Amino acid sequence: MQFLPPFLFVFILFNIANSSVAFRNININADRRGRSENVNNSDVASAIITVDQNGSGKFKTIQAAIDSIPSGNHDWIKIKISRGIYTEKVTIPPDKSYIFLQGLGREKTIVTFFDHERTDTSATFSSSPDNVVAKGISFKALAARIYGDKSAFIECGFIGFQDTLWDATGRHYFSNCYFEGAIDFIFGFAQSYYENSLINVTVGTRPPTEIAVGFITAQGRASANDPGGFVFEGGSVSGSGRVLLGRAYGAYSRVIFHGTDLGQVVAPQGWDAWSYKGQESTLTYAEIECKGAGLNISERVAWEKKPGDIQQILQEYSRSSFIDQDGWIDKLPR
């Protein structure tokens, strides 16, 4: 990925991290339930751990709660996180699956951290194992990187400027989430389904204001057999400045928007082949049944895929066909 000068990143991250007001804290009582022998009975957590930075929970930091979970865990454990701004870097290591992080809402439970050295080490939230769920939490700055399979984010926020969400590898489900940024702010190689996303473009609102156009996605699918791709179902794109829907981070990059309300912030060109100019035939970029002031199909790049049999395409890129063939989403804890 291309990076901004370090002094600009410091300025941007400082403003992002301090853009929220302070929140009062509430008390959530700890609760322990009988352990389940069957992880597929996953609407029931085997244990609940509470986090409150003022000391009303079992732990004051999210990371301390994660560290308390034993390696090799096979039962869902819910971590309830109280209202507040948690300034910490949160990491779920590969050997700690079946963790459910539950906040009180993306405007009430916020995790942020001032790190901008490298995209692969600077994320506020990093998750490596399979079977992880987060709900009602916002992650700020270089917000998150997600590696594990069968990871879900419900009503979460991802707020940054460049490389906000590193949607790295695995099958991921994002439902009713908020994404904010200007440059490649949803990028990676994963196989992900974004349902009813609110995408807020912030080109020109923070230095460097001279950026002419931003990019929502940079998807890195590398071959025709690579299952990776980003599918956006419903939702909306709005904000400030001008933005393209995506640019190719891989030779077989794949991004589909279906039924999305595209605001006038979307530039007529729509897409950019980036380093793969001359190889556009291998890229899969499409807009299907979208609407809004930014829907300028007649002015899009000539190599954007034109849907033929729409029903066949919708079936191929439906949630059940694209990421949920084994029904893992319905087995997630609530």
Longest Cα–Cα distance of the chain, Å, equals 59
Cβ atoms of 69 and 96 within 8 Å: the answer is yes
Q: DSSP letters of 71-124?
A: TT--S-EEEEE-SEEEES-EEE-TT--SEEEE-S-TTTEEEE----S-TTT--S
How far apart (Å, rounded) are the C-alpha atoms in residues 297 and 185? 23
Tell me, yes or no, if 184 is annotated catalytic.
Answer: yes
Cα–Cα distances in angstroms (integers) from residue 255 to residues 198, 217, 243, 247, 297, in the given order: 16, 8, 15, 9, 16
Per annotation, catalytic residue among 52, 163, 167, 272: 163
Tokens of 163: 């490389």
Per annotation, catalytic residue among 75, 167, 184, 272: 184
Cβ atoms of 90 and 115 within 8 Å: the answer is no
Tell me, yes or no, if 149 is annotated catalytic.
Answer: no
- What are the φ/ψ torsions at residue 236 (nearest 5 degrees)? -150, 155
Residue 30, C-beta contacts closer than 8 angstroms, at least 6 positions apart: 48, 49, 50, 57, 58
Instruction: Return the CA Rg of the chain.
Output: 20
* Catalytic (active-site) positions: 163, 184
